[in-house]
Amino acid sequence: MKSITSLSGIFFFLAISLPTFNLQAQQQPADYVNPFIGTGGHGHTFPGATVPFGMVQLSPDTRLEGWDGCSGYHYSDEYIYGFSHTHLSGTGVPDYCDILLMPFNGEINLNNGYDGKPGYRSAFKHSDEQAEAGYYNVKLLKDAIDVKLTATTRVGFHQYSYSQKTNRAILIDLKHRDMVTDSWINLVNDHEIEGYRESTGWARNQSVYFVARFSKPVSKALFFSNDDLVKENSIKNSKNIKAGVYFDDGDDEILVKVGISAISAANARKNLESEIQDWDFEQTRRQARASWNKVLNKIQVSGKDKAAKTIFYTALYHTMLAPNAYDDVNGEYLGRDFKTHNLSPAENGYYTVFSLWDTYRALHPLFTIIDQERTNEFIQTFINQYEHGGMLPVWELAANETWCMIGYHAVPVIADAWIKGIRDYDEEKALSAMVHSASANHFGLDSYRRLGYIPAGDEAESVSKTLEYAYDDWCIAQMAGGMGKNELRNEYLKRAQSYKHVFDPQTQFMRARHNGGWFTPFDASEVNFNYTEANAWQYSFYVPHDMDGFIRLMDGKDALAKKLDELFNASSVTTGRDQSDITGLIGQYAHGNEPSHHIAYLYNYCGQPWKTQYRVNNIMKSFYRNQPDGLIGNEDCGQMSAWAVFSALGFYPVCPGSTQYAIGSPQFEEATIILENGKTFTIKARELSDTNMYIDKAFFNGAVYNKGFIEHADIMNGGLLEVEMSSTPNMSFGSGTGNEPITGIHNELIQPAPYVSISTPTFQNEVSVSLAGMDGTDIYYTLNGAEPDRKSLKFEHPLSFTETTHLKFRSYAGGFPPSQTQSAVYTRMPDFLELQLLSDYAPQYSGSGPNNLIDGLQGSNDFRLGGWQGYEGTDLDAIIYIKNDEAVDSVGLRFLQDEHSWIFMPSEVELWKSSDGKNFTFADRYENII
């Protein structure tokens, strides 16, 4: 009896303990993901169902066009048009939203309802909407249909619950969103439809094949081409295909599995059958959630603030929405040559959607820590794209190079990985591809190599391109040097110093060069065509690879810190072009766009890291919130969120290609990174609070740690970084020799290119020009077009020109090679013409200045290069005075029209004439008939 009593006690103990255990079960990272963050404001994210790096993003479409409709969904909308299978996360250009399905009851309506007339779209309420990692649910109010969505890598899974038992149907719209160039559809059997959609948009030639399989037999299928009903159960070669499939009456759910492929319908079917073999929707949903928990668990954070965890894990979730798988389950993929290729036995995946101008900064460096295996796969994809398309990706989308944004930023992704020991690819082929990108002649690269910078008149966004090319070239030098290719390293180390040529020592800003001098007029707050989605304030701190050299140009660390202070404390008003990307302003710092992302961490490089800690904490608290509009700018395929992930952990990769991460201000009491090598790296922040944002002291693996940076190897070897936080800054932490992060070029040094004092290309009567350069240089020049050398004329006093002159010059300084030859052309204008402008031209379109209309110089076909004068909101009214009784045979005017940029020729031109300059008579009138 005693043993029986004991056994009962044991069972009774278990009975009361199990419920207690379940109540205390720890939440998983996926529980904190809020896919609605970024769907409002200008975040441009989508809330639908997907898995990490999935080919399918099954999500509702609420918006058909416009900048805030880039992802297909905006939180402010009231109608859903349907549920499509591909979406972009946080881009600034719309595309995708392919293969739209929409459940309905009753007669089919082919109009989507966007025109305000009755259509198939349905109203919805956010109170009836739910989104989780890998799952989306909404109730369509029009027919009271409950929609549930989940996904695998290549398959979207729909579940529709109809409140009305009769006339249950699903509409398929292949015309939806981007312009269709070809499509076809075919009823395979009473459970399956297959089809194809080829479209043009941001991706000029995008192909998507699909197979839709239904859980119930199709009782009736209607097919429409150009909205006309066809008799057959298939349509070929149409640009406007819609279909309606009907099912027998019933009260059970109708499920649809949709597999997609860029190769063929047969591959779409293979994808479907391989990834979802049954009709268990909830099981697929659980698997999707498990896939998210697996990757999100790579970083485990703890703290009392649930909102902070939601922001963090949603950010980490956003970092894994792109790039996207582009290979099918059989290993086939569509290459950059639009041909079918196969993964080699050594390759595990092929990807698309590379927003590299954004993601090289923090997203890909994050993957070098938490996903080295996939980093290798990304780089192998780059190499394959180079082999099939002839170029490393710039902004690749669905096998298309969009040429969006600037630089050749596949280069730093490769170099950063290689420097950190991630090398499971052909490194020789990778380096050759990198050099090939840097050797092209497009986008100003020919001028960049010839002059050391890109003049404003040669290429738009010349300052930004010069700076970013220089950084990319440094990355090539790093990898070449590491591979023992010293000659190549030295060549690219010289190119990497090209930033020196656009640094104006007088204003201490990065400025555009023009006609041998500086582009004028200059306003550091002006957003113009010399910078990429930014102004001089936001680009003048972009020298991540040579902070030593940059600090010298700035006259020391204190001077740099002072300039940073000025940036953050300046007025937030920008002038010039209205640039929607410039958001999240703190002074002139703009967190809503990528050029600013590294700037707050630069205080570490000049011995004042407490200012980094303050600024980073402020940015985190101000610009990342658990709200639909919780992102301050475009998510940009994970970059905006990668910044938050790194900064929440307490460090950031200021210079990918370097092994150092600058330390900031941790946001969690404890964060642990689970590394692929089986080790863990933990950051503990003691006494952390809203006010305790400063690091008072730090310990690494128990030893005192006073560095303002941490090495990549220290992270990958595992360990514990403990920081004690305080409400007051410790100004000695992270400062001093050996404690400050460092990047620098110390070999193959070059001197900044010399410049002229007057860059205006035309003059009347006489112009006086001076030459200047780095302190201690001698400048030699020629006036006959010959290349200058030390035997040429030496500049010693201002030069006066009274005739059209081609000036060439270069500088010499001890310890440096001669500068590259610079040139300036001064054209004397006719003496008998004088222009009086009665209208003000737009500052963005000033041309060469007040005499632009009579200077005899012609603008190029690219208005951004500055050769044109433009008038906005006012008529051009001007008087041309003709002196010395010069005879006039004709009057000619040249105009430029670029309707995509809202630049139009005048509607009419009137000419009036006068013999005394006071009394005018009508001469002629011309109407614009274009």
Distance (Å, whole) CA 765 – CA 829: 8
Confidence of residue 25 (pLDDT cuts 50, 70, 90): low
pLDDT at residue 145 greater than cutoff 50: yes
Give a three-class secondary structure readout of 134-148: CEEEEEECCCCEEEE
Distance (Å, whole) CA 358 – CA 110: 39
Distance (Å, whole) CA 75 – CA 39: 5
What is the average pLDDT across 418-443? 98
Is 865 within 8 Å of 460 (Cβ atoms)? yes
Residue type for 322, please? Answer: A
pLDDT at residue 24 greater than cutoff 80: no
Give the pLDDT confidence of 581-612 residue by residue, as tens digits: 999 999 999 999 999 999 999 999 999 999 99
Confidence of residue 450 (pLDDT cuts 50, 70, 90): very high
Give the pLDDT confidence of 71-90 residue by residue, as tens digits: 999 999 999 999 999 999 99
Confidence of residue 20 (pLDDT cuts 50, 70, 90): very low
Q: Which CATH class is domain 755-828?
A: mainly beta
Is 431 within 8 Å of 410 (Cβ atoms)? no
pLDDT at residue 667 greater than cutoff 90: yes
Q: Under 8 Å CB-to-CB from 886, ≥6 apart: which residues?
A: 832
Give the pLDDT confidence of 498-545 residue by residue, as tens digits: 999 999 999 999 999 999 999 999 999 999 999 999 999 999 999 999
Q: What pLDDT, on the 0 to 100 scale, is given for residue 766?
A: 95
DSSP for residue 736: S
Interstrand relation of 719-726 and 680-686 (parallel, antiparallel or unpaired):
parallel
Residue type for 810, please? Answer: R
Residue type for 194, please? Answer: E
Q: CATH 2.60.40 in the chain, residues?
A: 755-828
Residue type for 321, please? Answer: L
What is the average pLDDT across 741-769? 96
Structure tokens given for 68:
């805030």
843 burial via Cβ count (<10 Å: 0-12, 13-18, 19+): middle
Distance (Å, whole) CA 929 – CA 179: 29
Is 822 within 8 Å of 780 (Cβ atoms)? no
Give the pLDDT confidence of 310-357 residue by residue, as tens digits: 999 999 999 999 999 999 999 999 999 999 999 999 999 999 999 999
Give the pLDDT confidence of 218-264 residue by residue, as tens digits: 999 999 999 999 999 999 999 999 999 999 999 899 999 999 999 99
Give the pLDDT confidence of 156-201 residue by residue, as tens digits: 999 999 999 999 999 999 999 999 999 999 999 999 999 999 999 9
Distances (CA, A) of 912 to 146, 194, 451, 888, 901: 70, 67, 45, 13, 31
What is the average pLDDT across 12-33? 56
Q: What pLDDT, on the 0 to 100 scale, is given for residue 8?
A: 32
Placement of tokens 């040669």 in the chain: 458
Structure tokens given for 500:
């020196």
Q: Under 8 Å CB-to-CB from 468, ≥6 apart: which residues?
A: 406, 407, 409, 542
Confidence of residue 697 (pLDDT cuts 50, 70, 90): very high
pLDDT at residue 266 greater than cutoff 80: yes
What is the average pLDDT across 288-295? 99
Q: Under 8 Å CB-to-CB from 305, ≥6 apart: which residues?
A: none
39-289 maps to CATH 3.40.50.11740? no
Mean of the per-residue pLDDT values of the chain: 94
Whole-structure pTM value: 0.93
Q: Is the peptide bond before 323 cis (omega within 30 degrees of 0)?
A: yes
Give the pLDDT confidence of 193-219 residue by residue, as tens digits: 999 999 999 999 999 999 999 999 999
Residue type for 296, please? Answer: L
Q: CATH 2.70.98.10 in the chain, residues?
A: 39-289
Distance (Å, whole) CA 608 – CA 602: 9
Confidence of residue 12 (pLDDT cuts 50, 70, 90): very low
> Could you count the other beta carbons within 10 Å of the beta carbon of residue 444?
21
Confidence of residue 907 (pLDDT cuts 50, 70, 90): confident
Is 502 within 8 Å of 752 (Cβ atoms)? no
